[in-house]
Amino acid sequence: MKTLIVTGGAGFIGSNFLHLLHASRPDWKVVNLDALTYAGNLENLISLEGWKNYEFVRGDIARREDVERAFAAARRFGGPVSVVHFAAESHVDRSIESGLPFVQTNVLGTQVLLDAARAHGVERFVHVSTDEVYGSLGDTGYFTEETPLAPNSPYSASKAASDLLVRAAVHTHGFPALVTRCSNNYGPFQFPEKLVPLMIAKASDGESLPVYGDGKNVRDWLYVVDHCEAILAVLERGRLGETYNIGGHNEYQNIAIVRRLLSELGKPESLIRYVKDRPGHDRRYAIDASKIERELGWKPRYRLEDALPLTIAWYRSRAGWLQRVRSGAYREYLARQYGG
């Protein structure tokens, strides 16, 4: 049995992780600390209702008093506490518009959380990071855990900064942290600002699909269920102080993803619109995940060919979820519940 604080559990990957815990570790005690920004949606967690080992704390990781409320809830559950840290501003395009919220949450927030976690003597702290901290690859090669950090966007720079703060806590204080760096996730509950759900939503409504630049940028696609299982493996069995890359062995050009989605949805390719490229757009990401495979026996279970149809089927069966997120109606519950 473990007591866990999960930050960002109302977001895309965090909510999938909570579903995994509910199904596979139901005796664990879990506190979800989430500020419910535009990306946080309590509707993602409806299936957890009635889980007596679960508590939601609305709070900002950058505010020590909010973090302390989460630790107080964890203490009431009892037992040694571990942390899995997902909370972040996560969208590259938003960071290009304004980097400040990214520094506030991803950098300052991570340090506040680290300080509190150290003061409370946590057992383990898993910091969820991204392959984007390594920068961009040419046509060949892979990111390993030894690849130097070379972030290119305000988002990835803020994540790299947070990784370095975690590294410093390990080195200076002997803090029991582990870092994971994964590639692009897709699957249920992803906010429709990211490529896959955005294109599903637009194609379903017969809108044009904006492909940046020449559409030949490559991402290594990872089904979110695989990612969550990898994080659980790192939490339970990873070596303290280590970094683990997590990848899907599923490299595709963006245009190939978009074409595949259109074909699965039975929509015409004439919906594709090439638009102005993202400034500083990283060309290719590809992960060497041999360390986590070797040390922890984790491997992705899903291939894109199988999991993309699963993802489309999920969005189709949850048309109401997508519609409420796109219209902003999902925030009405928030306003009723919290007055804002």
Q: DSSP 3-state assignment of 202?
A: helix
132 is catalytic: yes
* Binding string, residues 91-110; x marks residues near ligand TDX by CB under 6 A: xx------------------
Which CB sits closer to ligand TDX, 7 or 217?
217
Q: Are 303 and 250 in contact (CB under 8 A)?
A: yes
Q: Which does 40 bind (CB under 5 to 8 A by kind): ligand NAD, ligand TDX, none?
A: ligand NAD
Q: Are 252 and 219 in contact (CB under 8 A)?
A: yes
Centroid of chain to Cα 227: 9
Q: Which does 162 bind (CB under 5 to 8 A by kind): ligand NAD, ligand TDX, none?
A: none
Calculated CA dihedral for residues 222, 211, 153, 157, nearest 10 degrees: -10
Q: DSSP 3-state assignment of 4?
A: strand
> Of 70-129, which residues contact ligand NAD (CB under 6 A)?
86-90, 105, 109, 128
Options 92-100, 178-186, 267-275, 312-320: segment touching ligand NAD (CB under 6 A) = 178-186
* Binding string, residues 131-160; x marks residues near ligand NAD by CB under 6 A: ----------------------------x-
Pairwise CA distance, residues 152 & 264, whole Å: 33
93 is catalytic: no
Binding ligand TDX (rule: CB under 6 A), the pick from 217, 243, 250, 311 is 217
List the structure tokens of 231.
């994080």
Pairwise CA distance, residues 239 & 181, whole Å: 15
54 is catalytic: no
> Of 123-142, which residues contact ligand TDX (CB under 6 A)?
130, 132
List the structure tokens of 64.
């020590």
* Binding string, residues 52-91; x marks residues near ligand TDX by CB under 6 A: --------------------------------------xx
Pairwise CA distance, residues 12 & 14, whole Å: 6
Give 280's Cβ-side CA count (13 Å radius): 15
Options 8-16, 141-149, 229-237, 311-319: segment touching ligand NAD (CB under 6 A) = 8-16
Q: Which is nearest to 229 in space by CA: 249, 251, 250, 246?
A: 246
> Of 16-55, which residues contact ligand NAD (CB under 6 A)?
34-37, 39-40
Pairwise CA distance, residues 120 & 117, whole Å: 5
Active site members: 131-132, 155
Q: Give contact residues for ligand TDX (rule: CB under 6 A).
A: 90-92, 130, 132, 184, 194-195, 198, 210-212, 217, 219, 254, 278
